[in-house]
Chains A and B, each alone.
Chain A
């Protein structure tokens, strides 16, 4: 089955700790994206990558970092510099052109206390 997997589904961390969220796709898509969703709000773009070894900041990149060493994988690190890290994080992938939709993973709910 082709798709996007995110792990874990729920993640709990103490304040001051970095945490890495996993995102893997087997759709052979070039582009991958990370979004943050807060209760009752839309999705905000954190980072995106259109090809391996390249990525760009989205609208809210501060306090986050990413890597794209393999086409299939786009991990997101939430650093201790992120002031309000508790949120629902969604990963997506696409062919990278505007004509085609993005496919989303099931999300990771991060709670930092």
Chain B
């Protein structure tokens, strides 16, 4: 079945450091790919998405490119801030599945001043 694998956390960075959170997927069809962010005690918020190969999603300085050849959707940010501290989830939605999302296990990011 379809699956998503994220790099394990927690990831601890200093403010203004470069961030990469790796995400790879397995899917039989042509999935859409998403990054969600969860702040403590809250629900998930969509960070960015890409719906086809080579698409780049971007939002709030975060970027991710849909790489079909490597089945990856790595999240990057050039300069993190303390306010970026949260848990980040990679997810896929396969077109035959009626909008169901399959999530990775989440990666906790902690940014220190």
Q: CB distance A98 to B42 under 8 Å?
A: no
Q: CB distance B42 to A50 under 8 Å?
A: no
- Which residues 64-113 in A have Cβ within 8 Å of B in the complex? 90, 92, 94-107, 109
- Rounded to whole Å, the gap between the CB of B112 and the closest CB of chain A is 20
**Residue of A45, A97, A104 touching B43 (CB-CB under 8 A):** A104
Q: CB distance A43 to B89 under 8 Å?
A: yes
Q: How many residues of B contact A (CB 8 A)?
A: 25
Q: CB distance A42 to B43 under 8 Å?
A: no
Interface range, A side: 20 to 34
Q: CB distance A94 to B99 under 8 Å?
A: yes
- Rounded to whole Å, the gap between the CB of B20 and the closest CB of chain A is 19
Given contacts A42-B89, A98-B31, A105-B43, whether A31 and B99 have CB atoms under 8 Å apart is yes
Residues of B within 8 A of A (CB): 31-32, 34, 36, 41-46, 49, 51, 89, 93-95, 97-101, 103-106
